[in-house]
Homo-oligomer: A and B are copies of this chain.
């Protein structure tokens, strides 16, 4: 799935997260992975204006789902089985980007790595690794 199809699919499947007035959007898709943008609103902020930990975890989890969709097409039953994140430093206020790439894409499991940083920043603010269980599919 390319960026347009991926965005359309996510708007339909996750109306709370994607679509008009919603904070998440696909920022890019290429052979390396998917970049997801979070336009944080008050619900995602901590005192001080930085994005909260749970908002970063949600962003990373959705980015991982998006990179699986980009690779194998719509799999609505894919579910996270394990998620691990290290918080590295506070991001600057403003949009947050999550770059997700596949470490492994197997028949039953996909393992993804997600790098989070403030838009325009070089250093990571968080780094996550997650495993999705994917349902059997035609080849």
Contacts and interface: CB of A to CB of B under 8 A. Distances in A.
Interface of A: 13, 16, 42-43, 47, 53-54, 57-58, 61-62, 79-89, 103-104, 106, 109, 111, 113, 123-124, 127, 129, 131
B131 A129 contact: no
Contact of A129 (B43, B58, B84, B87): B84
Contacts of A84: 82-85, 129
Contacts of A13: 47
A104 B58 CA distance: 22
A86 B129 contact: yes
Given A103-B127, A104-B127, 4 more contacts: A54-B58, A57-B57, A82-B87, A104-B124
